[in-house]
Amino acid sequence: MKTNAARILEQQGIPYELLNYEVDPSDLTAERAAEKLGLPHQQVFKTLVARGDRSGICLAVIPANAILDLRALAKMSDNKKVETVSLKEVQPLTGYIRGGVTAIGCKKPYPVFIDISATQFDTIAVSAGKRGHMLMISPTTYQIVVQGTIGAITSHDLDKA
């Protein structure tokens, strides 16, 4: 099954691989997706929706086993303060449901911030815009497609690493 994000990549002639996994509605974590795909948690990236006090909505793309560093994201996005949005706001803002948020094909072209750890891999897995579907893509290509900014925006949870 092709997703809108996959179609966008195809229209631009961008290489990617579409991966599928069985979704457990009671566990939508990126860690679970990584395990079902047989990939290290550090190579599977989740997309979080945040709101800055100055610039508004932005997306943070971080490893499955990482915690978003709100201060670092605020600094990087020229805000004094950043908070993640409530789950009820995610779909109206992005067009995607929890567990399927991707920066590719969002309702609006929000600023995207990608954790620098993505650059240590040849390919990373990001949501394809639907639960149970991931895109394997070069982090450099992904950054170009989403016009993202790369920087250190996480603190890793060592218990899950």
The pLDDT averaged over each successive group of 10 residues in the chain (161 residues) is 91 96 92 95 97 97 96 97 96 95 95 98 97 97 97 71 38
What is the pLDDT, as a whole number, of residue 158?
A: 47
- Long-range contacts from 156-159, C-beta under 8 angstroms, 24+ separation: 156/63, 156/65, 156/66, 156/67, 157/65, 157/66, 157/67
Q: Which CATH superfamily is domain 4-156 in?
A: YbaK/aminoacyl-tRNA synthetase-associated domain (3.90.960.10)
What pLDDT sits at residue 112? 98
SS3 percent helix, strand, coil of the chain, rounded to 5, is 30, 30, 40
CA distance 116 to 92: 28
Residue 113 · residue 154 · CB < 8 Å? no
Q: Are 113 and 45 in contact (CB under 8 A)?
A: no
From the CB of residue 58, how many other CB atoms can be counted at a distance below 10 Å?
Answer: 22
Question: Which pLDDT score, from 0 to 100, does residue 156 have?
Answer: 57
**Longest alpha-carbon distance in the chain:** 41
Q: Which residues contact 104 (CB under 8 A, 6 or more apart)?
A: 4, 5, 8, 9, 126, 129, 135, 145, 146
Looking at residue 2, its pLDDT comes to 85
How far apart CA 20 and CA 160 sit, in angstroms, is: 23
